[in-house]
Structures are given as C-alpha cells and as structure tokens.
Structure 1
Amino acid sequence: MPPRVSDVMTVEPLTLPLDATLYEAARIMRDEGIGDVLVTYAGRLCGVITDRDIVVRAVAESRDTSLTPLGDVCTAELTTVRPYDDTGTAARLMSEQAVRRLPVVDDEQRPVGIICIGDLAMADGQVGPLSEISKAPPNN
C-alpha cells in the first residue's frame, strides 16, 4: 500500500493573503529558497503563486510588483489533495493535470501542506536523478 500524502508532504506551507503583493511573495521565495507560495482568503486556499508566475504574468507585463496583489496574478484553478490520500492518487493527479506540486488541504480547504514530484520520488524509494536532486539543499 502506498504511503499517505501526510507521510511525505512538506508541512506548514508558506502562505500569503490574496491582497499581499508580488514583491512580498518574491521576498519569501528568495528568503526561504522555495518556488511557490500558497494564497489564502480568510484562511482558505484560493490560489498559488510561483516564481515563474511572477516573471511571466507580472514582470514581463511591466506590472509594478510592489503594488500588484497576488489575486491579480496567481493561479486560482487548483487541483488539491487531502493528507489522508495515498501518494498514488497524488501522482495520478500530477500526471493528469501536468503539475509538479499539489497543495494539501484539510476538509475546510485550509492549507496544511504541499507535495511535489520530488516528494513522490523519495517516497517510492526511487534511485536516480530526481530523488538525488530532491535531497539536495536549495540552490540560492
């Protein structure tokens, strides 16, 4: 039986409210060595913003990152998993949706974790480049 999402996810993902700015998200990503931040409204997940989103949807469009709220740029249509789902479900959803990470939410849609493709590689005990890259420290 595959492990549960809760066994391999990153707990306590970094979040920002919908009205936070792109600048705030970029600083958190830099300071924490991560590529995404979950976006919330009233504590519930409503989007995700990635470093690529900031570049492609904001900087390349000449938006002012210190004034543009996350709600203007973040991805709002999300596929999520629950902590009690198995990792096979997470892998299937990542494949079907062509995404590399999935927010993990509780039954009230509050973010409790995030699981990425590297987490799945390590959970399956895979040997190879993906699991090795996933074990490496962040490249800041």
Structure 2
Amino acid sequence: MANRITLITLAARDLQAQAAFYKSLGWESEFQSDDVVFYNLSGLKFGLYTAEKLAHDLNKSVDDLGTGAQTLAVNFASKAEVDTAYDAAITAGGTALKRPDDIFWGGYTGSWADPEGHVWEYAWNPFWELDENGKLKDGV
C-alpha cells in the first residue's frame, strides 16, 4: 500500500464555532451539514465532525476521545509567508503557542491552536521544495 492520507478529521465540540473560525482564516467548505464540514485540500480532505458523532463511530464516549499529541502542519515558501499566515490565525481567534522563529534544524516555525485546542504548526523548511500550488514536491 502506498504512503498516503486522504482524510484528516478533527472532533469538534462546537461544530458551528469551529467552522466559523476556519472560514475566518479564508477556508471555503465544500460540504457542510449539522454534523460535519469538509474542506478540499487539493487531493486531501479535511473534516470537522461533531464530537458526539465521532465518538459514536469509534464506540467511545465523548470524554474518551481525548486530544492526543498531534500537530497539523502547513509549509510555506518563505519566512514572510509563515509570519503573515500566523498573524492571520491569531487575529482570527487562534491561540498563540510559539511565535514563528528560527529553529535548530535550520527551518522557521511557529505554533498556534484553534479555539478547541487543535495545534497547528506553520513552517518554512529549506529542505522541502513546494510546487506552484504549495504542495510538497515528491522526493524532497
């Protein structure tokens, strides 16, 4: 099986508030119902799913979902783009965790959390090349 991810889903305790937050970042949903919101990420889908429905799907209680220790990351073509996107996330209501700065491995990263605590990292990685659509090029 090829290495791939086709869908990333986050549990949302307040789906409408989460959808409004991502909309304020400029994200456009391709589908929205009372239980789920999907965004097209050029070959990958990102979903916000009510915590109740996700817990039911996983045969768990909402309290057993937890938040885990994951980070969602977006790579940018420059440090300036990282700064601009980071500032926009904070202005939209995200919580600042780490202001973008140079990091020991040679890149530039900053972290923030959405209103429900999902952690995002915005980064510039000098070792990874992006194509004209902002996707990581294969083999780098």
Instruction: From the two aligned structures, give the one with the greater strand fraction.
Output: 2
Larger helix percent: 1
Is TM > 0.5 for Structure 1 vs Structure 2? no
Quick one: higher RCO (CA 8 Å, sep 6+), 1 or 2? 1
Compute the TM-score of the two structures, normalised by the length of structure 2: 0.27
